[in-house]
């Protein structure tokens, strides 16, 4: 089969790694891909939102299957577009993608189906939003109701911060015509849980824990994710059962009832407290960096899993995982998520040997013929698995110590919570 992977991050590199191990695959193309991905796939420079151009490429190259990594093209309706064209594509359609594309849509669906989540209110103007704050307690959570590249959520410790967050949203800081969702603050420990749904059936993938803040001990601003490990010990079988029964199944049933059955990866961001999970958010794709740890742990042929999902055959699918613990540590350019220097040189990458238990997934890198350059905020995702989480982390931190990259930054406490 000829496969196109859409996206350019370490998530998509890890997907290409898994796809490249499938005997079903003859060629992999990445749109647009990155330097690391170019070792496994042919990278094609097309804008991921330009569906017509992607279609021309797929026709010319007789592509059999498109796998979409990031949320933006899904929310823009790439699945609806290619279903009409008759090319197999993996992911939810535009309607179902609102689970991530509109926080208001997701909250309304939860409310209508008694899905445990934070209480909330939706507003389409500044005055009513600010007025509503008067009767609320702190902290309070202010969300832009649309895709905001992970930056649209403020957990406000004071009413001034909450008001400013509302003003920013209506001043179109995160895009035009965005509305506001105001949520009660939920306390607890966060975990990510993934399922793959075919419209009717679903299979559980695994849990993982992300590290969203830039600083050690979960301090400083939010990032795309600085590291992850899987499985997440807090997500035990009792919680899994509760989440499947009270969150995942009612969501899938509601979408089926709406005439838009959910197909693809569904990622539930959870807040767990006293042995009970509530939904923080839905994402409609694999997490980054959670995907990297799942891809190293999954034993199944991912292409077969995706084909079974598209063909509605997941009731026959069994997912198998390595018993190992897997971790990933993200190396970023110093300064991220703020300003950072571009095109700094990373020395020593050739010393790191890839294997079944260790992979370096690239996000923002390029190569100038002699040197590996860091071109983005998040740059590398060093990923390892082993019998214990602490051994997997040792492999990663030992590998990082072999790199010379003074302009690089990483957290030294990934996985610490699970080890204590
Ligand atoms: P979201 O984009 O909705 O996942 O929000 C990003 C992050 O904000 C989450 O991973 C949480 O850490 C935090 N967050 C969002 N909503 C809440 C909430 N209601 N209570 C506490 N923290 C929240
Ligand atoms: N790791 C968080 C995300 O992918 O949204």
Domains along the sequence of the chain with CATH: 2-90 (3.40.50.20), 125-178 (3.30.1490.20), 189-316 (3.30.470.20), 325-419 (3.90.600.10)
Q: Are 285 and 269 in contact (CB under 8 A)?
A: no
Q: Using CA of residue 156, residue 161, residue 166, residue 168, what is the dihedral sign?
A: negative
183 lines ligand 1 (CB under 6 A): yes
H/E stretch holding 114 reads none
Q: Using CA of residue 311, residue 315, residue 318, residue 321, what is the dihedral sign?
A: positive
Query: At residue 33, what are phi and psi to the nearest 5 degrees?
Result: 75, -170
Neighbours of 276 (CB within 10 A): 15
Dist. CA 246–CA 263, nearest whole Å: 19
118 lines ligand 1 (CB under 6 A): yes
227 lines ligand 2 (CB under 6 A): no
Ligand closest to the CA atom of residue 283: 2
185 lines ligand 1 (CB under 6 A): yes
Q: Which of 213, 228, 282, 287 to mutate to test the pocket of ligand 2 (most atoms within 8 A of CB)?
A: 287
For residue 183, give both structure tokens: 């949520």
Alpha helices in 299-370 (DSSP H): 302-310
Dist. CA 393–CA 398, nearest whole Å: 8
272 lines ligand 1 (CB under 6 A): no
Structure letter (DSSP) for residue 406 = T
53: exposed, middle or buried (Cβ count in 10 Å: 0-12, 13-18, 19+):
middle
For residue 119, give both structure tokens: 């209480």
Structure letter (DSSP) for residue 245 = I
Beta bridge partners of 272: 189, 277
**pLDDT tens track, the chain, 420 positions:** 999 999 999 999 999 999 999 999 999 999 999 999 999 999 999 999 999 999 999 999 999 999 999 999 999 999 999 999 999 999 999 999 999 999 999 999 999 999 999 999 999 999 999 999 999 999 999 999 988 887 788 899 999 999 999 999 999 888 887 899 999 999 999 999 999 999 999 999 999 999 999 999 999 988 999 999 999 999 999 999 999 999 999 999 999 999 999 999 999 999 999 999 999 999 999 999 999 999 999 999 999 999 999 999 999 999 999 889 999 999 999 999 999 999 999 999 999 999 999 999 999 999 999 999 999 999 999 999 999 999 999 999 999 999 999 999 999 999 998 887
Neighbours of 260 (CB within 10 A): 18
- Residue 225 Cα to ligand 2 midpoint, Å, equals 6
141 lines ligand 1 (CB under 6 A): yes
Q: Are 115 and 158 in contact (CB under 8 A)?
A: no
- Residue 118 Cα to ligand 1 midpoint, Å, equals 10
7 lines ligand 2 (CB under 6 A): no
The number of the ligand 1 atom at minimal distance from the alpha carbon of 185 is 20
Residue nearest to atom 5 of ligand 1 (CA): 153
């Amino acid at each position: 089969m000829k496969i196109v992977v859409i996206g350019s991050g370490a998530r998509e590199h890890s997907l290409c790694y898994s796809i490249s191990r499938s005997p079903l695959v003859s060629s992999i193309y990445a749109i647009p891909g990155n330097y690391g991905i170019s070792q496994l796939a042919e990278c094609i420079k097309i804008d991921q939102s330009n569906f017509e151009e992607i279609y021309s490429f797929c026709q010319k190259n007789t592509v059999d299957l498109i796998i979409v990594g990031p949320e933006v093209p899904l929310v823009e309706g790439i699945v609806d577009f290619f279903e009409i064209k008759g090319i197999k594509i993996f992911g939810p359609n535009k309607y179902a993608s609102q689970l991530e594309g509109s926080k208001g849509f997701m909250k309304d669906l939860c409310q209508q189906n008694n899905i445990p989540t934070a209480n909330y209110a939706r507003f389409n103007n500044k005055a009513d939003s600010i007025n509503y704050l008067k009767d609320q307690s702190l902290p309070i959570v202010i969300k832009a109701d649309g895709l905001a590249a992970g930056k649209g959520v403020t957990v406000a410790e004071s009413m001034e911060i909450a008001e400013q967050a509302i003003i920013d949203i209506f001043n179109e800081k995160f895009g035009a015509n965005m509305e506001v969702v105001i949520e009660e603050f939920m306390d607890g420990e966060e975990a990510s849980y993934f399922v793959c749904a075919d419209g009717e059936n679903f299979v559980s993938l695994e849990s993982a824990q992300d590290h969203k803040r830039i600083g050690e001990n979960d301090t400083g601003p939010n990032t795309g994710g600085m590291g992850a490990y899987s499985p997440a010990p807090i997500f035990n079988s009792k919680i899994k059962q509760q989440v499947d029964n009270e969150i995942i199944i009612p969501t899938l049933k509601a979408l089926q009832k709406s005439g838009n059955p959910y197909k693809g990866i569904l990622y539930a961001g959870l807040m767990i407290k006293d042995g009970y999970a509530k939904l923080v958010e839905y994402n409609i794709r694999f997490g980054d960096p959670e995907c990297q740890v799942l891809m190293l742990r999954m034993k199944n042929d991912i292409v077969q899993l995706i084909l079974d999902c598209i063909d509605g055959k997941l009731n026959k699918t069994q997912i198998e995982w390595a018993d190992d613990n897997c971790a990933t540590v993200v190396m970023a350019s110093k300064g991220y998520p703020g300003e950072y220097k571009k095109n700094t040189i990373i020395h020593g990458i050739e010393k790191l040997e890839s294997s079944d238990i260790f992979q370096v997934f690239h996000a923002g890198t390029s190569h100038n013929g002699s040197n590996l350059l860091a071109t983005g905020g998040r740059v590398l995702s060093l990923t390892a698995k082993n019998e214990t989480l602490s051994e997997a982390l040792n492999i990663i931190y030992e590998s990082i110590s072999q790199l010379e990259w003074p302009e690089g930054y990483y957290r030294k406490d990934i996985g610490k919570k699970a080890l204590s």
